[in-house]
Amino acid sequence: MLQEDMPDVADQGPDGRRATVGEIVARFLEHCGVRAAFGVISIHNMPILDAFGRRAAAAASAGRPAPIRFVPARSEPGAVNMADAYARVAERIAVAVTSTGTAAGNACGAMVEAFTAGTPLLHITGQIEVPYLDRDLGYIHEAPEQLEMLRAVSKAAYRVHSAETALGTLREAVKVALTAPRGPVSVEIPIDIQATEIALPVSFAPAEVPVALPAAAELDALAERLAHAKRPLLWLGAAPATPVRRCAACSISASASSRASRGAASCPRTTRARSARSICTSRRSASMAPVTRCS
């Protein structure tokens, strides 16, 4: 069920006009089609998890399911692995929530797996208070160069620098995660920013995910090479199940069409070229499409 089919919950935030950044994070994720988030509860992500809980309670009192179900994990690698699996099975962006410092480091191994698999995953991690950040003070729970560590295991990594830029940063992170080639994206949100109240945004709509389409000439050239190959092989890569099924269905359809036309005068090479071009078109358009509709 898409977001527009669901009644909104606590639309106006805690006091009807303003909301914490944690609340804004929760609402934005709902508009991205997120239905479950996995993570480890910590003081450095509590405003976000509190927002999940408040909105779930409001939904329950109205007889509706929670907009986002939070699934606690015993470890950060477990949380990211669960989010990775959820994204692959549900074919939508998944969310993992961790704390800062050691907790963010613990998530790195699972992030590498998601990165290698091209899983669209949003990793939201906490961070210490802005006044103490990057000052080499040995502040509790701070990991030096944490953002650089996350960049090494993510498709991209961002830091929210102010409450006003939190939504824009999250929009960009989700767009990057869903843009081919897909992959996990990390976002640091300092704890004091998470708890800051700001005016509700006018819109929580996510950014449009660009879809790359192949040029017709490129498809024709590839089809020509396949048509003249003695033992053609299509290497489809580590794609989700749906594009592979579409490609296989296209291939079967092309083969059936070829068999049906054998009684008529036709050129086998032309038939093979048509089949190859059809398969290539199906594959490229399917692989470039986003996993989920974020609206």
Report the 3 state secondary structure along 102-144. Answer: HHHHHCHHHHHHHHHHCCCEEEEEEECCHHHCCCCCCCCCCCC
Provide the Cα torsion 43, 48, 53, 55; round to 10°. 160
Sign of CA dihedral 249, 254, 259, 260: positive
Give the chain's residues under pLDDT 70.
1-16, 237-295
Q: Which pLDDT belongs to residue 248?
A: 47
In this prediction the pTM is 0.74
Q: Are 126 and 191 in contact (CB under 8 A)?
A: yes
Query: What pLDDT, on a 0 to 100 scale, did the predictor assign at position 275?
Result: 53
**Separation between Cα atoms, residue 101 and residue 176, nearest integer Å:** 24
Cβ atoms of 216 and 41 within 8 Å: the answer is no
Contacts of 174 (CB under 8 A, 6+ apart): 32, 93, 122, 185, 206, 207, 294
pLDDT digits (tens, 9 = 90+) for 167-193: 999 999 999 999 999 999 999 999 999
Where are the alpha helices (H) located in the chain, listed in sequence order?
A: 21-31, 46-61, 76-90, 102-106, 108-117, 146-153, 166-178, 191-194, 216-228, 241-260, 268-288
Rounded Cα distance, 282 and 251, in Å: 9
Q: What's the pLDDT score for residue 165?
A: 96
pLDDT at site 274 = 52
Output the pLDDT for position 270.
46
CB 195 within 8 A of CB 160: no
| DSSP H/E element including 19 | strand 18-20
Q: How far is C-alpha 59 from the chain's CA centre?
A: 25
DSSP 193: H
